[in-house]
Chain A
Amino acid sequence: MSRVARWVPPASLILSLVGLGASIYLTIAHFTSPNVLACPANGTIDCALVTTSAQSRFLGMPVAVLGLVWFIAMTALCLPAAWSTEHRLVHLARLVGSIAGVAFVLWLVYAELFLIGAICEWCTVAHVTAFGLFVIAALTAPALLGEPPDE
């Protein structure tokens, strides 16, 4: 029997898929042209500025690709079968992955606000979904990784 609320698996899967879609879009833009992004350039919001900045790479890897890989992994970890599995490692991986994801999002938000000086709408979609996944993973972790239920 599942140890999480009924809404958790579909909600997390939807968030993962939305984030996956945004990261696919950003990856395509990275390897083609930042101009393909449907995004205004009005000073505060400027996707091309963000996606071509020095901070658009992390340890030499394009951040868009890192996001894509992360969302693929989180989508797998948020499938209904993954939520209902008894394998503790799956739940641990989801929690650790979401913590790593949200930590990276904090760095990227800092970079956008203080280093680049512009916000990328599509990146923000990915950031919000990563945060949503972190919230779900954090709040379900005690039930999934704690002692088994009494009854």
Chain B
Amino acid sequence: MAKKRTTAQKQRARLRQQQRAAEALPKNRADRPGAAPSRRSTRRSSARWSWIAVGVVVAVVAGMIVLSLNRSTPQSTDRGSAAAIAKVTNVPESALAKVGIPKNLPTIPHLPAGTPPVLQDGKPVVTYVGAEYCPFCAMERWPVVVALSRFGTFSNLRTTTSAANDIHPNTPTLTFHGATYTSDYLVFSAVETHTNRPTSNGGYTALDPMTPEQQRLFETYDRQQYTGGTDGGIPFVMIGNLYAWAGATYNGDTLNTYTFDQIANLLTDPSNPVGREILGAANQITALICDLTGGRPASVCSAPYLQQAQKGP
């Protein structure tokens, strides 16, 4: 009973309020009877739209989360530990010396004599163009990182895998995306152009754009006449103005049967075929870089097994 009285009182009060509001309308609106209730309903309608807008945002976010959880596209997920990355950048000299430069490694093509020097800040440049989805880039980064770590220091190196939907799927590797490299002897100019995440049109999502200089070197020297491989093939590696190749320099077909941490551990075990392949390729690249830096630093380049390596033209 008390509730009913209260409701009736409320209704009467609201009616009085509406009447007062109608009386208080400006003169130019006097010809709009019922303007006050209409205004209130407009506000109520606006409030409804506000709630709808909030609901739409919530629904869109919820929808995206559900879709991403149910996505069937396989994702590359192998993430190695920081300790494992440190093993790759600090391979013991004893392990490298034990492997030397195996005879079965392919000869790296020399660039023609007279190729203009590739310099940055007065230092020779080692250029790398690759992509995270690319399995042969995944293989080649291992020896490249091992070799370059003898001439300088990487920071922010991270791990990834090659694409899950390509040959040698999910090959564990490092990525140069977001990494930096400092050296007293050379500059390492690297770019990862795409991620390992497929797009709906059969490609992969774009990552870092090439700098104009990387683009120039890639377009000029990643040609069959120089690399012996397909035009524009990746990974493309160019050691200053001396050597260039496209593809992996060793057989890394079995890498994807290991985890990142397992491969990193194998780099101290030259008796294992995987460790031997990577260390051998790293030594070959080291020798090419020594050729570029004029044998500096001597602590690296004076190793007897590097002296026997191929030299420029």
Contacts and interface: CB of A to CB of B under 8 A. Distances in A.
Interface stretch (A33-41, A67-75, A79-87): A33-41
A134 B36 contact: no
Interface in A35-67: 35, 41-43, 48-49, 52-54
Contacts of B156: 33-35, 48, 52
Interface residues of A, number: 32
A86 to B, nearest CB: 17
A98 B161 CA distance: 39
A70 B104 CA distance: 59
B64 A117 contact: no
B64 A147 contact: no
Nearest to A131: B57
Interface in B131-185: 155-156, 158, 177-178
Contacts of A114: 64, 67-68, 71
Interface in B60-81: 60-61, 64-65, 67-68, 71, 75, 77, 79
B36 A150 contact: yes
Contacts of A115: 195, 197, 205
Interface in B84-122: none
A100 interface: no
A42 B77 CA distance: 9
B169 to A, nearest CB: 16
Specify the main secondary structure of chain A where it touches its partner. helix
Interface string A81-122: 000000000000000000000100010011001111100000
Given A48-B156, A52-B177, A113-B64, A138 B53 contact: yes
Interface residues of B, number: 37
B42 to A, nearest CB: 7
A110 B57 contact: no
Nearest to A53: B207
Interface stretch (B4-12, B43-51, B300-308): B43-51
A102 B43 contact: no
A82 to B, nearest CB: 19
B54 interface: yes
Interface string B10-31: 0000000100110010000000
A105 B36 CA distance: 38
Contacts of B61: 106, 109, 131
B47 A139 contact: yes
B194 to A, nearest CB: 9
Interface in B190-233: 195, 197, 205-208
Contact of A151 (B17, B60, B178): B17
A8 interface: no
B64 A49 contact: no
Interface string A125-141: 00000010011001101
A150 B51 CA distance: 23
Contacts of B67: 113-114
Closest 10 CB pairs of A and B: A142-B46, A52-B178, A113-B68, A150-B21, A138-B50, A146-B43, A142-B47, A147-B39, A142-B43, A139-B50
30 contacts: A34-B178, A35-B156, A43-B77, A43-B79, A48-B178, A52-B156, A52-B178, A54-B206, A102-B57, A106-B57, A106-B64, A109-B64, A113-B65, A113-B67, A113-B68, A114-B64, A114-B68, A115-B195, A115-B197, A115-B205, A117-B75, A134-B54, A134-B57, A139-B47, A141-B50, A142-B43, A142-B46, A146-B46, A147-B42, A150-B39
Interface of B: 17, 20-21, 24, 36, 39-40, 42-43, 46-47, 50-51, 53-54, 57, 60-61, 64-65, 67-68, 71, 75, 77, 79, 155-156, 158, 177-178, 195, 197, 205-208
